[in-house]
Structure 1
Amino acid sequence: MHSLRPIHNRLRRLLGLGRAEFFDTAVDRWEICPADEVEIAPGIWLPDQVEHIARTEFGGLPDILAQMQGDPAERTPPTMGYRFRDVDFVDGVLHARGAERHLRQRRHSGPTYPRPRDSLSGALYESWIGNRWFGNWLLNDCLAYRLAEAAGAPVTSAPARGGHIARYETLLGMAPRRIGEVHFDELILFDDLHNNSHRRARAQENRARILKDRALKPLPGVFIFRGASGDARILENEAEIAERLEVEYGFRTLYVDRHDADQMAEAAGAARLVVGVEGSQLAHGVIAMPAGGTLLTLQPADRVTTSLKLLTDCWQQRYAMVVGSGTAGGYRVEWDQIRRTLDLIAAAEP
């Protein structure tokens, strides 16, 4: 039997009715954490850095400036739970009556789809950005897992994987049911992207799980080497910067292709500074570095973003950046800029 939901949704758009908001189809909703006020620390950067920005990513320049300004009493929306009935999950897309929610890029397209044979109920904690980027999975989706766990039946469409991801799932006590294409008799989703006090508390819980029973030896800082991993952001003098941080500041360099999750946690968990090219590999540092530590990102001029600041805000860390010269395909960050930014970071410490 085939479902006509894609045709129904397409007809709505053709008739000018628009696509229904997925969360509007919920049969029940509840507040997990009310709206509250939290302190957002200002970002740290040299006074001339704005002049180096050629292009921004995931938001315009006003968004970057607002994030770097911080807010001593930012009003954060509530964390919400939503209950749905009669939902199909097919080809990475949740289909409800008149609404769709994409969790993965579709592999197929068509006016109908076969109804899934399997039916179940569960709480889904994954997101589009978490399925796309490792850092968002570790620092966003793994926080939402704690909500799904409390709801009783965590499920995910992500297959079992090895490496860092498998180890983090073990350290965080994550044991979801892994699903293919299914029909949900009942589905629970969460609106959990706001850094309110409840989300911040879950971040500290996940850090405590990562660092449990580890004998940490204090480090001045760690440099997490990106190299050619992930989406291209080629820092041409990355090796030179890592070496100077080791020699002049006593840093330790970590490599995502050489060090496992435990080694990353033991180093970053003992550090007050995590430095590296802006990207998902820095999530290894954010999840383990203590509250009050600082993440320093080195960014190409044509791809400046404060995406990671939204995450350090949740982990109650500070955020700093240096904008280099060149493009994501090849750029440089001068040592003097880094040295002076490290001075600003030291001056801002309580």
Structure 2
Amino acid sequence: MTTPAAAWIATNVAKMTARFNNRPSLFTPLPEPEAEYTPGQVTSRPALYEPEQLDRVTRCNLNRSLDFMMRLWTDTRWTEAPMSIYRLGPAVVLGGTVITPQARHRLRDDHVGFRRALKGSVRQPEIVLANSLQGLKFFGHWLGDDCTAFEAFRDYPALWSVRRHAWSDMAYYEGAFRQDWQEQDVMQTDNLILLRDLGFGRRKTERYRTLRRRLREHVRDRQASGKIVFIRRGASAKKREITNWDELRQRLEDRGISIVTPEGDTASFVQNILDASLVITVEGSQACHAIYALWEGGGLLVLQPPFQLHTAAQEWMRSLELHCGMVIGRTEQDGFSIDPDEVLSMVDRLLALTENREAV
């Protein structure tokens, strides 16, 4: 297997040659993975919505069709998508690039200089990386997907991570989950294994439950137990402005709903959402906190921007037998508006379904 320095030189020469010849990207898709297990069929409850609100949708996430999104939202039977395991053989990892004798794969835009490639690297016969492309870009995918991939291999001695974004809530969850994410930007191995736990199935649900239990063992003071909380989007999130936020906030507070914000004092934030009976939030990464925070039988209410409708939340909730609902906003010049009456109506529908008992 080539050295990191030699891989760096070859990759940068190839980049310059491709740029000079106006060729497409040097990076190729990953090969076909091995599934963690043979998938089966799973039954689940559909999520809640108001059909007349669908006319407000102008675009769905990932440019998927509204029909596709609503099938996922309302399905009562779905096929598991087990964790994908990619066995790439001999490889060098340079920052966010994986280099094998056959191909180059991009994990993230994180470049390593030649001097760093010359220095010492992690060198082990076999290395496992729990990072996904999505988890290296979005906090929600790291919390909801990469943490479960890590959990599947947590006792493996050569479990490593490329360098990640320094999200402010990340360190707290690592400690609560008892996960030691060893980061390294230069690695070399005879057998590189990449993990992708982006789908959902029985074993991922088991890992979710393990992490939920660890979080509760870590947090003794559960100030939100049995309450309703609204999680605002954090400071680092892409802005999705609710144009009538002051009106909505006042109606929520009048109902006794607590409003909390991530990306600050994470310990206090988690105390203020853990074992909530219902979480309300705008569609986005911060919604992933609900995977671990809601008590058993609780519910998640997603406020959907009409130009960014996404139904991934139902995949998280149905796998844990939690409830899910959505309210779709109306497009405004500077964002979108949310009808407080529609929110409170959906709150009542979800509360009627939730089981008021604490998670174990």
Q: TM-score range by the shorter chain?
A: 0.7 to 0.9
Match of 2:268 in 1: 263
- The aligned runs of 1:215-254 (5 Å cut-off) are 215-216=221-222, 218-226=225-233, 229-248=236-255, 250-254=256-260
Change (3 A) 1:61 1:123: same
How far residue 200 of structure 1 moved from its aligned partner, in angstroms, is 0.2
Equivalent residue letter for 2:230: F
How far residue 235 of structure 1 moved from its aligned partner, in angstroms, is 1.0
Match of 1:341 in 2: 346
1:164-213 CA-to-partner distances (Å, cap 9, x unmatched) read 21111111111132101222232222242221111001001111111115
- The aligned runs of 1:311-330 (5 Å cut-off) are 311-326=316-331, 329-330=334-335
Per the alignment, in what secondary structure is the counterpart of residue 346 of structure 1?
helix
2:84, 2:195 within 8 Å by CA — same for their partners in 1?
yes
Change (3 A) 1:328 1:222: farther
- The aligned runs of 1:150-189 (5 Å cut-off) are 150-158=155-163, 161=166, 163-189=168-194
Give the alignment's TM-score, normalised by structure 2.
0.82
Change (3 A) 1:241 1:129: same
Change (3 A) 1:265 1:124: same
How far residue 114 of structure 1 moved from its aligned partner, in angstroms, is 6.5
- CA distance in structure 1 between the aligned counterparts of 2:56 and 2:311, rounded to whole angstroms: 15
Change (3 A) 1:77 1:173: same
Match of 1:92 in 2: 96
1:210, 1:265 within 8 Å by CA — same for their partners in 2?
no
- CA distance in structure 1 between the aligned counterparts of 2:253 and 2:338, rounded to whole angstroms: 17
- CA distance in structure 2 between the aligned counterparts of 1:240 and 1:228, rounded to whole angstroms: 21
1:29-85 CA-to-partner distances (Å, cap 9, x unmatched) read 5x54331222233121112121110111122212211111122x3221443434332
Match of 1:297 in 2: 302
- CA distance in structure 1 between the aligned counterparts of 2:286 and 2:164, rounded to whole angstroms: 21
2:160, 2:181 within 8 Å by CA — same for their partners in 1?
yes
Unpaired stretches in structure 2, ≥5 consecutive residues: 356-360
1:219, 1:251 within 8 Å by CA — same for their partners in 2?
no
Match of 1:23 in 2: 31
Per the alignment, in what secondary structure is the counterpart of residue 31 of structure 2?
helix
Equivalent residue letter for 1:226: R
Match of 1:44 in 2: 48
How far residue 301 of structure 1 moved from its aligned partner, in angstroms, is 1.4
- CA distance in structure 1 between the aligned counterparts of 2:150 and 2:132, rounded to whole angstroms: 11
Change (3 A) 1:328 1:233: farther
- CA distance in structure 1 between the aligned counterparts of 2:57 and 2:110, rounded to whole angstroms: 34
- CA distance in structure 2 between the aligned counterparts of 1:44 and 1:306, rounded to whole angstroms: 11
- CA distance in structure 1 between the aligned counterparts of 2:165 and 2:178, rounded to whole angstroms: 14
Match of 2:358 in 1: none
Equivalent residue letter for 1:224: I
Equivalent residue letter for 1:36: G
Structure with the higher fraction of residues in strand conformation? 1
- The aligned runs of 1:115-194 (5 Å cut-off) are 118=121, 119-120=123-124, 121-158=126-163, 161=166, 163-194=168-199
- CA distance in structure 2 between the aligned counterparts of 1:172 and 1:136, rounded to whole angstroms: 16
- CA distance in structure 1 between the aligned counterparts of 2:181 and 2:107, rounded to whole angstroms: 17
Change (3 A) 1:174 1:53: same
| Equivalent residue for 2:72, pick from 45, 57, 67 | 67
2:131, 2:195 within 8 Å by CA — same for their partners in 1?
no
How far residue 144 of structure 1 moved from its aligned partner, in angstroms, is 0.7
1:82, 1:189 within 8 Å by CA — same for their partners in 2?
yes
Count of aligned pairs: 339
- The aligned runs of 1:201-212 (5 Å cut-off) are 201-212=206-217
- Give the share of equivalent positions with the same residue, in percent: 23
Unpaired stretches in structure 1, ≥5 consecutive residues: none
Change (3 A) 1:187 1:116: farther
- CA distance in structure 1 between the aligned counterparts of 2:165 and 2:229, rounded to whole angstroms: 29
- CA distance in structure 1 between the aligned counterparts of 2:333 and 2:90, rounded to whole angstroms: 44
1:79 and 2:90 aligned: no
- CA distance in structure 1 between the aligned counterparts of 2:11 and 2:298, rounded to whole angstroms: 49
1:135, 1:280 within 8 Å by CA — same for their partners in 2?
yes
Change (3 A) 1:269 1:227: closer
